[in-house]
């Protein structure tokens, strides 16, 4: 039984059932609530302590087994502690009791708790609706509760809803009563035992389209009536996703229905409320006339991630937020697995490298990263860990583990774990134990090295070749970008599943590296000595980086140029080279020469990661005089791919061809390829006369390039289109375009407008970060100054969500001078902002790495670019 601490409620009283009635007022932005909580007192107490925040509790009464009503003597609302302490002047005996509370609260505008949202329809109709976002610790802003993931209880919810509005919650509606005053009382079925952060309710002028799975679960997609037709794709896919997961988990989906709701104001991408998943509109709605292939994919991907949570996270919940990673990593991994099964042609495991693995590696290469399993206490600390470690690194090590154990053992272990903890809570250890039992492998010992230690290994490869035989020797040390500043030997060791590919061999050589070094014979080559190559981390399912001697890099570069490596290996090689270069393990020119070998590349994800690495590279050299030479290098690299893709879809081409076209054309335009800019201008002119003429996949590219080259008039045209656009996907594309002008005054104007009512709060963050990163030489100073000047407002708006405020601090990472690092430190030293504590340290470390890199590489690069004229 946990004692009360600053971050945990005392374990003396347990909630069993909440009966809640809420009356929101959508004009005054408040609500009134009335709640009966069936509790079990586990040991006699004088005081009942639960969570409440920003609520005004007006009445508290306790009814014991004897039926007597005891009003609270003292209601201590504990300002700032998010706790409600109720004293009844008598010792409350062990056993069952009912707590009755009446309270009022605020429909806030902070996208968390019970919040208001302004909806806008295509015909100009506007108004307010209300929805919830409780994860991690904001259920307490809607009703007093034991707001901890292990305090599972059932919920019997009723809402007073204005006529003309729909109401949706976790379970189906069981009763509606007309109250005769233009409202009705809507009561939902009692939920199963669940954590309070998974409760949700939305009321608004929404409509649904509906379907059902073959098992009979009712599925609904909800949106504003003017756009509900665009829910079709999401509906069809969500049915397939649920059917797949039913089968994979071997446990039928536990609720009667599953709704997906498209909301215009939403902080995260989506939220896995049990049975009522909420989404940003642009992650659920697909308009065939204007939505891109990327959106089509994102919708399925996010639906799969959230639906995976219905079991993993919702049916079985982490015992405390320390194990958040398990929820998020698992859903990320499972989401990819699901989409990969439903759409094999999308090559999701290759895209996973870009979406997850690389992002995890990038953050985890910093000394200021943190272990996957990390102790967290208060709400600010909890918010801080919704990051690339909890999602991306965690998902990547699960992928590594599944590959190591085999898909069948992994799935058996997982089913065991879910069955054992259904409607309850579990810890990371419980999953490892189930996987050990299913596989007979020492999972705990292996995974502990990945989840309890910060960072990941760099494998240094030595190769000895003799008479066609080759032997590799690997040694591991922690990879750190800070290596460029100071070489530090660390004793950290990982248990590394290693796969090695070799020219001419179909199957990789696999083994588990348990010590600091390992050596293996790879046998005789089937290729001529010149064509032989060796690639470690074959298939890139390992979460680590690999470095080779110069001669081996040369062999691999030739293999890339001649198409000898698989796509994932080509991707891994190029991405490792970038990171090794930034960390000072590899000369910058080796990276640039290797990357030049990708001119004939045909994989969409490879192009995206090449584009990302060069985008990062640009932040390092953004103010150097050879920047124009770098542009020429970029044009040279991307041009053949641009020509192969062309502007118009070819008959029979696939989804990945569409993604690739978008990437390469937008990069070519960024590097000022005249043909591409010319095409963009022509297509935009045609679009203004005939909007249907512009293919959805080209809209983002064309808007951005026209804005990049355009004047004030073009800028205002794009702004007008943005204001007029009905769907958020289109709005966001246009907003991003407005961060592209080369004219600083226009960029300033974009920043200024981002915080006005014309731009939704959640989208402003995207605007500001894009100004900073897309052309850092031009925008980073503007964006960073803007963040500093508007910090108080930005903090008020975005700190409650956690990750949005972190994105804004992350902007600083595009700087590359010691002065910038000092400036960031100085700014935050003077400010109380616990949600970004870690991000500030990470940003400062990143800037110092960038600055050291510039010091060491500046001269050599100037020479290299001078001798490589595009
Ligand atoms: Zn999730």
Among candidates 632, 611, 657, 584, which has minimal Cα distance to 850? 584
Q: What is the mean pLDDT of residues 280-304?
A: 97
How are strands ordered across the β-sheet holding 74-76?
A: 45-51, 83-92, 74-76
> Does 776 score more than 80 pLDDT?
yes
Lowest mean pLDDT among 199-203, 411-415, 468-472, 693-697: 468-472
Taking only the tens place, the pLDDT of each residue in 597-641 is 999 999 999 999 999 999 999 999 998 999 999 999 999 999 999
- CA 306 to centroid of ligand 1, rounded, Å: 6
Among candidates 208, 209, 158, which has minimal Cα distance to 179? 158
- CA 324 to centroid of ligand 1, rounded, Å: 9
> Does 803 score more than 90 pLDDT?
no
Q: 199 — alpha (psi -120 to 50), left (phi > 0) or beta?
A: beta
- CA 337 to centroid of ligand 1, rounded, Å: 14
Interacting residues of 501 by C-beta distance below 8 A, sequence separation 6+: 508, 534, 535, 538, 539, 565, 566, 569
- CA 396 to centroid of ligand 1, rounded, Å: 15
CA distances from 761 to 124, 352, 794, 798, 807 (A): 19, 29, 10, 9, 14
Measured between alpha carbons, how far is 59 from 74 in angstroms, rounded to an integer? 10
Taking only the tens place, the pLDDT of each residue in 492-515 is 999 999 999 999 888 999 999 999
Q: What is the mean pLDDT of residues 256-269?
A: 92
Among candidates 428, 309, 297, which has minimal Cα distance to 372? 428
For residue 502 the two structure tokens come to 């070799």
- CA 325 to centroid of ligand 1, rounded, Å: 9
* pLDDT score of 756: 96
Interacting residues of 798 by C-beta distance below 8 A, sequence separation 6+: 761, 765, 804, 805, 808
Indicate the SS3 state at residue 97: strand
On the 0-12 / 13-18 / 19+ scale of CB atoms within 10 A, 252 is middle
> Does 745 score more than 80 pLDDT?
yes
Q: What is the mean pLDDT of residues 145-170?
A: 98
On the 0-12 / 13-18 / 19+ scale of CB atoms within 10 A, 551 is exposed
Lowest mean pLDDT among 101-105, 284-288, 774-778: 774-778
- CA 308 to centroid of ligand 1, rounded, Å: 9
Beta bridge partners of 475: 460, 517
Interacting residues of 64 by C-beta distance below 8 A, sequence separation 6+: 70, 92, 93, 95, 97
- CA 111 to centroid of ligand 1, rounded, Å: 17
Beta bridge partners of 340: none
> Does 2 score more than 70 pLDDT?
no
Taking only the tens place, the pLDDT of each residue in 635-686 is 999 999 999 999 999 999 999 999 999 999 999 999 999 999 999 999 999 9
pTM of the model: 0.96
Q: What is the mean pLDDT of residues 188-200?
A: 98
Interacting residues of 66 by C-beta distance below 8 A, sequence separation 6+: none
Q: Which residue has the tokens 């009561």?
A: 187
Name the DSSP letter for residue 464. Answer: E
Cα angle at 727 between 726 and 731, to 5 degrees? 90
- CA 326 to centroid of ligand 1, rounded, Å: 10
> Does 870 score more than 50 pLDDT?
no
Give helix then strand counts, H and E, for the chain: 27, 29
- CA 197 to centroid of ligand 1, rounded, Å: 13
Q: How confident is the model at residue 4 (pLDDT cuts 50, 70, 90)?
A: confident
Phi, psi of 427, rounded to the nearest 5 degrees: -120, 165
- CA 407 to centroid of ligand 1, rounded, Å: 22
Q: Are 376 and 322 in contact (CB under 8 A)?
A: yes
Interacting residues of 159 by C-beta distance below 8 A, sequence separation 6+: 21, 22, 23, 24, 167, 169, 185, 186, 188, 201, 203
Beta bridge partners of 802: none
* pLDDT score of 564: 87
> Does 193 score more than 50 pLDDT?
yes
Taking only the tens place, the pLDDT of each residue in 73-98 is 999 998 888 999 999 988 999 999 99
Beta bridge partners of 35: 20, 101
How are strands ordered across the β-sheet holding 166-169?
A: 113-120, 126-133, 201-204, 166-169
Interacting residues of 820 by C-beta distance below 8 A, sequence separation 6+: 812, 847, 851
* pLDDT score of 386: 82
Measured between alpha carbons, how far is 374 from 411 in angstroms, rounded to an integer? 26
- CA 607 to centroid of ligand 1, rounded, Å: 27
Q: Are 521 and 464 in contact (CB under 8 A)?
A: no
* pLDDT score of 848: 98
Active site annotation includes 793: no
> Does 556 score more than 70 pLDDT?
yes
Among candidates 373, 432, 388, 440, which has minimal Cα distance to 409? 440
- CA 386 to centroid of ligand 1, rounded, Å: 9
- CA 745 to centroid of ligand 1, rounded, Å: 39
- CA 705 to centroid of ligand 1, rounded, Å: 34
Q: Are 318 and 330 in contact (CB under 8 A)?
A: no
- CA 336 to centroid of ligand 1, rounded, Å: 12
Measured between alpha carbons, how far is 271 from 279 in angstroms, rounded to an integer? 7
- CA 268 to centroid of ligand 1, rounded, Å: 10
- CA 207 to centroid of ligand 1, rounded, Å: 25
- CA 262 to centroid of ligand 1, rounded, Å: 17
Lowest mean pLDDT among 209-223, 260-274, 745-759: 260-274
> Does 315 score more than 80 pLDDT?
yes
> Does 489 score more than 90 pLDDT?
no
- CA 323 to centroid of ligand 1, rounded, Å: 13
- CA 312 to centroid of ligand 1, rounded, Å: 10
- CA 331 to centroid of ligand 1, rounded, Å: 6
Q: 649 — alpha (psi -120 to 50), left (phi > 0) or beta?
A: beta
Which pairs with CB-CB distance under 8 Å and at least 24 residues apart come from 819-825? 820/847, 820/851, 821/847, 821/848, 821/851
- CA 390 to centroid of ligand 1, rounded, Å: 10
Q: What is the mean pLDDT of residues 726-730?
A: 94
Average pLDDT, the chain: 95
- CA 600 to centroid of ligand 1, rounded, Å: 37
- CA 750 to centroid of ligand 1, rounded, Å: 32
Q: What is the mean pLDDT of residues 701-721?
A: 98
Q: Give the alpha-carbon dihedral of 463, 466, 468, 471, to 10 degrees.
A: -30
> Does 409 score more than 50 pLDDT?
yes
Q: How confident is the model at residue 788 (pLDDT cuts 50, 70, 90)?
A: very high
* pLDDT score of 563: 87
Q: Are 600 and 561 in contact (CB under 8 A)?
A: yes
- CA 552 to centroid of ligand 1, rounded, Å: 40
On the 0-12 / 13-18 / 19+ scale of CB atoms within 10 A, 504 is middle
Phi, psi of 57, rounded to the nearest 5 degrees: -85, 120
Catalytic residue among 21, 306, 373, 810: 306
């Amino acid at each position: 039984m946990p004692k009360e601490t600053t971050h945990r409620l005392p374990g003396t009283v347990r909630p069993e059932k909440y009966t809640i009635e809420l009356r929101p007022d959508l004009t005054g932005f408040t609500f009134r609530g009335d709640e009966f909580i069936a509790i079990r007192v586990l040991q006699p107490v004088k005081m009942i302590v639960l969570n409440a925040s920003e609520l005004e509790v007006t009445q508290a009464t306790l009814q014991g087994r004897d039926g007597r009503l005891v009003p609270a003597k003292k209601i201590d609302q504990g300002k700032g502690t998010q706790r409600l302490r109720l004293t009844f002047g008598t010792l409350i005996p062990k056993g069952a009791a009912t707590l009755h509370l009446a309270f009022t609260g605020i429909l806030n505008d902070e996208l968390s708790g019970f919040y208001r949202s302004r909806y806008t329809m295509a015909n100009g109709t506007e108004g307010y609706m209300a929805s919830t976002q409780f994860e991690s610790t904001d259920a307490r802003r809607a009703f007093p509760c034991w707001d901890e993931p292990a305090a599972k209880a059932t919920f019997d919810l009723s809402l007073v809803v204005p006529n003309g509005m729909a109401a949706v919650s976790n379970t189906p509606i069981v009763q509606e009563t007309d109250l005769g005053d233009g409202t009705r009382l809507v009561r939902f079925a009692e939920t199963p035992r669940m954590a309070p952060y998974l409760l949700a309710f939305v009321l608004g002028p929404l409509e649904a389209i509906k379907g059902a799975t073959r098992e009979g679960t009712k599925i609904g997609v909800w949106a504003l009536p003017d756009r509900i037709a665009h829910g079709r794709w999401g509906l069809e896919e969500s049915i397939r996703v649920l059917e797949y997961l039913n089968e994979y988990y071997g446990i039928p989906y536990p609720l009667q229905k599953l709704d997906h709701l498209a909301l215009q104001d939403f902080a995260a991408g989506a939220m896995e409320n049990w049975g009522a998943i909420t989404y940003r509109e642009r992650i659920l709605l697909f308009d065939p006339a204007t939505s891109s292939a990327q959106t089509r994919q994102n919708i399925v991907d996010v639906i799969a991630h959230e639906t995976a949570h219905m079991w993993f996270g919702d049916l079985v919940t982490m015992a405390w937020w320390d194990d958040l990673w398990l929820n998020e990593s698992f859903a990320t991994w499972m989401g990819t697995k699901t989409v990969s099964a439903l759409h094999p042609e999308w090559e999701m495991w290759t895209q996973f490298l870009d979406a997850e693995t690389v992002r995890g590696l990038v953050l985890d290469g910093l000394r200021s990263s943190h272990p996957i399993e990390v102790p967290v206490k208060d709400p600010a600390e909890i918010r801080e860990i919704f990051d690339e470690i909890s999602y991306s690194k965690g998902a990547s090590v699960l992928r590594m583990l599944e590959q190591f154990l085999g898909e069948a053992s992994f799935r058996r272990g997982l089913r065991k774990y879910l069955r054992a903890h259904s409607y309850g809570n579990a810890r990371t250890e419980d999953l490892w134990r189930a996987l050990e039992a299913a596989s007979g492998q020492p999972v705990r010992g292996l995974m502990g090295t990945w989840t309890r230690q910060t960072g990941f290994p760099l494998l240094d490869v030595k190769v000895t070749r003799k008479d066609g035989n080759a032997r590799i020797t690997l040694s591991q040390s922690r990879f750190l970008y800070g290596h460029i500043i100071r070489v530090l030997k660390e004793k950290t060791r990982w248990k590394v599943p290693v796969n090695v590919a070799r020219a001419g061999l179909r199957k990789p050589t696999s083994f588990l590296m348990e010590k600091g070094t390992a050596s293996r014979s790879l046998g005789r080559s089937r290729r001529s000595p010149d064509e032989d190559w060796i690639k470690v981390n074959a298939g890139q399912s390992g979460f680590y980086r690999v470095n080779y001697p110069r001669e081996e890099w040369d062999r691999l570069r030739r293999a890339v140029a001649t198409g000898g490596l698989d796509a994932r290996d080509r991707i891994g090689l190029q991405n490792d080279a970038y990171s090794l270069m930034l960390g000072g393990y590899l000369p910058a020119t080796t990276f640039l020469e290797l990357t030049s070998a990708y001119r004939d590349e045909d994989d969409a994800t490879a192009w995206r990661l090449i584009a990302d690495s060069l985008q990062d590279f640009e932040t390092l050299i953004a103010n150097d005089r050879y920047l124009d030479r770098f542009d020429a290098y970029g044009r040279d690299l991307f041009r053949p791919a641009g020509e192969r893709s062309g502007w118009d879809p070819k008959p029979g081409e696939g989804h990945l061809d569409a993604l690739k076209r978008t990437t390469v054309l937008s990069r070519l335009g960024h590097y000022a390829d005249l043909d591409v800019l010319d095409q963009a201008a022509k297509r935009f002119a045609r679009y203004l006369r005939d909007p249907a003429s512009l293919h959805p996949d080209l809209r983002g590219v064309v808007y951005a390039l026209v804005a990049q080259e355009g004047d004030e008039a073009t800028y205002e045209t794009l702004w007008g289109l943005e204001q007029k656009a009905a769907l958020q996907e289109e709005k966001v594309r246009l907003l991003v375009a407005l961060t592209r002008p080369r004219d600083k005054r226009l960029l300033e104007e974009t920043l200024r407008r981002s915080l006005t009512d014309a731009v939704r709060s959640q989208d402003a963050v995207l605007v500001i970060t894009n100004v900073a990163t897309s052309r850092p030489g031009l925008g980073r100073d503007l964006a960073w100054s803007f963040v500093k000047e508007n910090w108080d407002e930005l903090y008020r708006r975005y700190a409650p969500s956690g990750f949005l405020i972190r994105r804004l601090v992350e902007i600083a990472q595009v700087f590359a001078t010691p002065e910038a690092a000092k400036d960031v430190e100085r700014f935050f030293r003077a400010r109380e902002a616990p949600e970004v504590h870690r991000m500030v340290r990470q940003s400062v470390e990143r800037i110092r790495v960038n600055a050291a890199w510039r010091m060491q590489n500046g001269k050599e690069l100037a020479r290299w670019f001078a001798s490589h004229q595009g």
